[in-house]
Amino acid sequence: MLNIIAVLTLTFAATMAVVGPVRHARDQQTAFATLRSNLANATAPVTQLDGDGRLWPLGTPIAILDIPQIGLREVVFEGTTSGVLMSGPGHRRDSVMPGQAGTSVIMGRQTAYGGPFGSIHQLQNGNVFTVTTGQGKQVFRVVAIRKAGELAPPALAQGKGRITLITAAGRNWVPEGLLRVDADLVSATQPSGARPLTAAALPQAEKSLSGDTGVWVSIMLLTQGLLLATVGLTLARYRWGEWQTWLAGGPFLAAFGVALANQVACLLPNLT
């Protein structure tokens, strides 16, 4: 039990501090290559539905968000669960795609897994940034930076577009509400398609500051695997010796610990 607790504690801390940013960087690199190919072949998502009339899978790369004022250049993924936001900012699926008429919502982490939205509070009214989608490069101008309870920008006029960037407000690792950056579309409005997924049907795990309780089954299975590995190494210690056992079994415990830590991290608020 002490071994299990030690492995969980150490691997969770290592995952959040070291492995998480590395994973984020790797996923961004891979997604950028995929999205660049899709943009070149005109197959990047521009509606909620793919060519077969089904919702795009969670984690599908859909856009490139480029905010030079804070040095941010990130691939945006479809969906906003904790698991998706480990790889980078996510597009809330019940909102329009960036550049289309209406408000598109992009959510990103404040601190963990690279913390891509950790600096959006530094933006100022009038700052201009771009989002590249399958419909071209969309240009936005910041009109408001606000926390909960602060005045929202005026409602959109018919046929106009806006993007809202959302992350956690407050100290790192301790969310105290939401920080929103609203930016109006200043380039041409793009056409939109069918949107069968509404706000009422959006899963709870994809809403702001929500965790993904769907990972409990994986957590239970990985915990059992870690328990079996620990028992096996305890028995092996008496046959092989202490250092030989740790040399042979240490990587197994670490692998179980990292996998379990990633699943546990999915239970945390998705914007931390």
pLDDT at 209: 95
d(CA 111, CA 116): 8
Share of the chain above pLDDT 90, in %: 71
Tokens 């060519």 sit on residue: 51
pLDDT per position as a tens digit, 67-114 = 999 999 999 999 999 999 999 999 999 999 999 999 999 999 999 999
Task: Note the pLDDT tens digit of each residue in 169-228.
Answer: 998 888 889 999 999 999 999 999 888 999 999 999 999 999 999 999 999 998 888 888
Split at pLDDT 50, 70, 90, the class of 1 is: low
Q: Does the pLDDT at position 269 exceed 90?
A: yes
Give the pLDDT confidence score for residue 4 in this predicted structure: 66
The answer to whether 66 and 72 are in contact (CB under 8 A) is: yes
**Euclidean distance between CA atoms 22 and 183, whole angstroms:** 30
Distances (CA, A) of 119 to 124, 152, 212: 11, 20, 25
Position 227 scores a pLDDT of: 83
Exposed e or buried b per residue across 21-49, where buried means at least 16 C-beta atoms within 10 angstroms of its C-beta: eebbeebbeebbeebeebbeeeebbbbbb
Confidence of residue 3 (pLDDT cuts 50, 70, 90): low
CATH 2.40.260.10 assigned to 13-206: yes
How sure is the predictor about 158, in pLDDT bands with cuts at 50, 70 and 90? very high
Convert the pLDDT of each residue in 242-257 to its tens digit: 788 878 887 887 788 8
Beta-strand pair 61-67/128-133: antiparallel
Per-residue confidence (pLDDT) for residue 241, from 0 to 100 = 83
- Assess whether pLDDT exceeds 80 at residue 2: no
Given a contact cutoff of 8 angstroms between Cβ atoms, the answer to whether 7 and 257 are in contact is: yes
Q: Which residues of 162-196 are buried (b: 16+ CB within 10 A; e: fewer)?
A: bbbbbbbbeeeeebeebbbbbbbbeeeebebeebe
pLDDT at 6: 73
CA atoms within 13 A on the CB side of 184: 14
Task: Work out the angle between the directed axes of helices 2-14 and 216-240 (0-180°, nearest 10).
Answer: 120
What six digits make up the tokens of 76? 């945006």
Give pLDDT, residue 159.
Answer: 94
pLDDT, position 255: 82
pLDDT at site 215: 94
Matching residue, tokens 């913390």: 115
Separation of first and last alpha carbons in the chain: 29
